[in-house]
């Protein structure tokens, strides 16, 4: 079953070009973004929507945080994102025109299911589930559904489910934008073209594995690591930190790089490697100055850049570049290196990569 791979996690990381292609094919209907992809009644539901609330847990929550950037910038819909287990226990202000989006690989996560029930009990009936398992509990309880086509994910650490969720969410943003008259034909074709090229770029990123394996040596013997990103890449820093702690048991945190000076800079020293997600986007110059703050305090930087982000390696600054900048889909591409970094750090530590201690693949208890 594992083929040439040592673990399901490694296999699932490498299955991403296929998983993404399958999901994208399901999403591109006749060379257009069409509401019908989200369910029969989607156009009517979307027409009522004035804002979005996304509920999820763990990695799926980080997909939600990424989606907020797309939904607000492309579809211009105010979007909130909440951890499912928090939302269900607080008094919120219901809005019947808000689309409740749940994201769950398994479709069985109790926290997310209960959050959905809570929303419905408050009278929020516009619901969409993004899920990887057909006919699981969460899609069954939702009016609209989109199934990612990642295939069965066995490793406890979510990998291909996450990147396919991101594709589904990007498509949701583009579809809502189109329905709202905010996406002209040219922009629609540009987004479709970017989606079609994504799997190829992901394959190139996977080819960076030997270099990333080298980097893992600098993490496996450390107690702590810090992940930095800005803007839409901040959730990818969060995901990188979660992957590392989950499977290698190395304590890792993520911060939006601009927050460094408001506290975490005090932690920086040569014993804590700092990973930076730094593709060539509008915030790159800001990220570079945040990197200077780390370097000046003796921190060692491990930078994931892309072909267009101009960096020079120097003492204490290591750089790995993805082969090209993929624009608005960049967070999907930049997920691949942080997955591989966590995987190789865990291998060096000899932990149980596919079944990390204390964790279950599907969390059906509170
Ligand atoms: O099946 P779900 O997407 O609802 O699962 C949510 C989390 O339990 C899950 O993403 C968890 O955080 C993963 N083990 C992360 O790799």
Ordered DSSP codes for 120-161: HHTT---EEEEESSTT-HHHHT-SEEEE-------SSS--HH
The number of C-alpha atoms within 13 Å of 90 and in the hemisphere containing its C-beta is 8
Would the CB of 192 count as within 6 Å of ligand 1?
Answer: no
Query: Rounded to two decimals, what is the model's pTM?
Result: 0.97
Question: Counting atoms of ligand 1 from 1, which one is nearest the CA of 109?
Answer: 4
Q: Please tell me the predicted confidence (pLDDT) of residue 273.
A: 97
Q: Is the pLDDT of residue 29 over 80?
A: no
85-89, 137-141, 356-360: range with lowest mean pLDDT: 356-360
Tokens of residue 115, six digits: 């959050």
Indicate left, alpha or beta for 45 from its phi (over 0: left) and psi (-120 to 50: alpha). Answer: alpha
Candidates 7, 60, 63, 346: which one to mutate for ligand 1, based on the most atoms within 8 Å of Cβ?
60
Establish whether residue 127 lines the binding site of ligand 1, counting it when its CB lies within 6 angstroms of any ligand atom. Answer: no
* pLDDT higher than 90, residue 311: no
Location of structure tokens 């939006």: 256
**3-state percent helix, strand, coil for the chain, nearest multiple of 5:** 50, 15, 35
In this prediction, the answer to ipTM > 0.95 reads yes
Whether residue 310 has pLDDT greater than 90 = no
Percent of the chain at pLDDT above 90? 93
Known catalytic membership, residue 178: no
Sheet containing strand 79-83, strands side by side = 79-83, 51-56, 98-104, 127-131, 144-147
Instruction: Read off the pLDDT of each residue in 173-189 and give the average, rounded to a whole number.
Output: 97
**Ligand 1 atom showing the smallest separation from residue 158 Cα:** 16
Return the pLDDT at 28: 83
pLDDT computed for residue 173 by the predictor = 98
Percentage of the residues of the chain whose pLDDT score is greater than 70: 100
To 5 degrees, how large is the angle CA 345–CA 349–CA 332? 20
Count Cα neighbours of 293 within 13 Å in the Cβ-side half-sphere: 20
Mean per-residue pLDDT of the chain: 96
């Amino acid at each position: 079953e594992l083929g040439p791979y040592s673990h399901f996690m490694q296999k699932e990381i490498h299955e991403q070009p296929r998983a993404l292609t399958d999901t994208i094919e399901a999403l591109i209907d006749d060379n257009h973004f069409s509401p019908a992809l989200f369910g029969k009644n989607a156009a009517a539901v979307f027409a009522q929507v004035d804002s979005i609330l996304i509920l999820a847990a763990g990695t799926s929550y980080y997909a939600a945080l990424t989606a907020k950037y797309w939904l607000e910038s492309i579809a211009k819909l105010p979007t909130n994102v909440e951890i499912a287990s928090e939302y269900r226990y607080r008094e919120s202000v219901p809005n019947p025109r808000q689309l409740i989006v749940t994201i769950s690989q398994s479709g069985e996560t109790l926290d997310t299911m209960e959050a959905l029930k809570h929303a419905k009990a408050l009278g929020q009936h516009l619901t969409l589930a993004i899920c990887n398992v057909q006919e699981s509990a969460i899609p069954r309880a939702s009016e609209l559904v989109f199934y990612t086509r990642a295939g069965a994910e066995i490793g406890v650490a979510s990998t291909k489910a996450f990147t396919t969720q991101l594709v589904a969410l990007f498509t949701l943003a583009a579809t809502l934008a189109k329905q709202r008259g905010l996406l002209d034909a040219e922009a629609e074709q540009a987004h479709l073209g970017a989606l079609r090229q994504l799997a190829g770029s992901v394959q190139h990123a996977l080819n960076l594995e030997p270099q990333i394996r080298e980097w893992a040596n600098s993490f496996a013997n450390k107690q702590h690591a810090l992940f930095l990103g800005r803007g839409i890449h901040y959730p990818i820093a969060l995901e990188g930190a979660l992957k590392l702690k989950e499977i290698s048991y190395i304590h890792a945190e993520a911060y939006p790089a601009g927050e460094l000076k408001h506290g975490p800079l005090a932690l920086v020293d040569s014993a804590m490697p700092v990973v930076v997600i730094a593709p060539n986007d509008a915030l790159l110059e800001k990220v570079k100055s945040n990197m200077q703050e780390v370097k000046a305090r003796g921190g060692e930087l491990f930078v994931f850049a892309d072909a267009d982000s101009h960096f020079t390696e120097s003492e204490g600054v290591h750089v790995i570049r993805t082969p090209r900048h993929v624009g608005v889909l960049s967070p999907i591409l930049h997920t691949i290196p942080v997955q591989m970094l966590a995987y190789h750090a865990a291998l060096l530590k000899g932990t149980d990569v596919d079944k990390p201690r204390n964790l279950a693949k599907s969390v059906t208890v509170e």
